[in-house]
Amino acid sequence: MITKFTLARHFGAGLVAGALLSLVACDREQPSASIAAEVSSKEASAEKVQAADFTAPFVPSGKRQLLFIGQDRKSIDSYVDSGFFPAPGGVTAYIVPIYELRNPDKYFGGMGLDNDLQPSERAADWGGGPANAWKLAQDFPDSALAIGLDINESFREGGLASIAAGEFDAEIDKLADFIRLVESPVFLRIGYEFDGVWNQGYEKANEYVAAWQHIVTRIRAGGTGDKGPENVAFIWQGSASPADDAIEGKYEADISIWYPGDEYVDWIGLSWFLLIDESGIHSDIAKEEMATQRELGDQILEFARVKQKPVFLAEAAPQGYDLKQEFNANINVMIDGPSAQGKIAVAGADIWQQWFAPFFEYIDQNQDVIRAVAYINCNWDEQPMWGAPYNNGFWGDTRIETNAVITDLWLQEIRNARWAHAQSLQKKSDALEQQQVTAQ
């Protein structure tokens, strides 16, 4: 069973920023009577959930939110090394795919441990930046680690059924050992963006669910250890993507077909990239009938409220914006037009008002369930997967530290006591001022 963990155990003393934040992991199989009573009817979906009601592991107390930064090592280092921001409460890594976790020719999928569980300095790079999850965890010992675990079948035909049949148990066992060795809280996003049409095989919802359940069951069994790692939370993440609706020409009204079950899922996640009221484009559907980013987010949040699960906004960035060069351009033809065309100048303050301010307002309005947020601090345009010729759409440059105005506004936001970081807030200029005062 999952036992109680304190912040001191998993985040170290460095996360004390005025007060100690407890991340509580309770028994998954014994929800409180008050929770059972609250979810006894469908009307519970409209009710606000209190933090104390969550039985999931690693939920920050007092309606606080854990701030993650991702999603590759270069991007994380750029944020931290700028000196403007606190070390993040969490960092994001990817292990891609599950089928290659024991394959040295594929850099062990970016895990960073060889098959003897010894550290490897080799970083995987699929065109989206360097990835070595083990080294990232060791270099940020006071931060939680969020891992995107890819299980889609573009890497292995029939892969989902093979996972469920036990054909990749050795890979899952190695992952369980990795999690145990990390020691910090691990937020494992299995088969993230389950409803994304770009994830081959996930359309076979029954096979997706069976594979998901098998991975969780196997990790809980312990890998090569006597028992499963106690420092893991299992995240079920949707795409909440207007682009997906535009590609498929339909709204996924019933996301429950992908749901592995309450006993397997600890947190529910989603992605967020567009303007809050932006929708996709489809030739046969009126624009006003297409679901917006807000509406797709609301769908997942309401599902989470019914299930009494905390929400991890697990991938977020202002797609289509270049914060450094201060412009906006088309994302793709499913959203607004040919990728990287239609470029217009947008000042940092306006970028903040267009994307960031509504984003943080949405989080504030839904802080009863949104308890963790991961921002992707990335120069997408320099990465082969996301840059020209923009086969995956135009993403831009979403590095906070490259824009002085956005940096200041970001700091004003994350200085709010509700955000949990890995150290006290301090900005370079503040430190310099203190040095000057001391010298006088």
Q: What is the DSSP string of 318-386?
A: -TTEETTTTEE----TTTTSSTT-S-EE--HHHHIIIIIHHHHHHHHHTTTTEEEEEEE---GGGSTTT
Say if residues 27 and 54 touch (Cβ distance below 8 Å).
Answer: no
Residue corresponding to tokens 């105005």:
405
**Which pLDDT belongs to residue 42?**
38
CA-based end-to-end distance of the chain: 57
d(CA 205, CA 196): 12
d(CA 182, CA 187): 12
pTM of the model as a whole = 0.87
**Which pLDDT belongs to residue 18?**
29
d(CA 392, CA 389): 9
The per-residue pLDDT for range 137-194, each reduced to its tens digit, is 999 999 999 999 999 999 999 999 999 999 999 999 999 999 999 989 999 999 999 9
**Which pLDDT belongs to residue 62?**
83
d(CA 141, CA 181): 12
Cα–Cα distances in angstroms (integers) from residue 65 to residues 4, 110, 173, 187, 400, in the given order: 19, 27, 31, 14, 19
> Is the confidence at residue 217, as pLDDT, over 50?
yes
d(CA 429, CA 312): 32
**Which pLDDT belongs to residue 9?**
29
Average pLDDT, stretch 190-218? 97
Q: In which band, very low, low, confident or very high, does the pLDDT at 425 lie, cut at 50, 70 and 90?
A: very low
**Which pLDDT belongs to residue 423?**
53
Could you list the beta-strand ranges (E) of 212-264. Answer: 232-237
Cα–Cα distances in angstroms (integers) from residue 27 to residues 31, 32, 155, in the given order: 7, 10, 35
Percent of the chain having pLDDT more than 90? 80
The per-residue pLDDT for range 372-410, each reduced to its tens digit, is 999 999 999 999 999 999 999 999 999 999 999 999 999
Q: In which band, very low, low, confident or very high, does the pLDDT at 226 lie, cut at 50, 70 and 90?
A: confident
d(CA 7, CA 17): 12
Say if residues 145 and 93 touch (Cβ distance below 8 Å).
Answer: yes
> Is the confidence at residue 227, as pLDDT, over 90?
no
The per-residue pLDDT for range 21-42, each reduced to its tens digit, is 334 333 333 333 332 333 333 3
**Which pLDDT belongs to residue 223?**
79
**Which pLDDT belongs to residue 11?**
33
Q: In which band, very low, low, confident or very high, does the pLDDT at 48 lie, cut at 50, 70 and 90?
A: low
DSSP 287: G
Beta bridge partners of 396: 321
**Which pLDDT belongs to residue 183?**
86
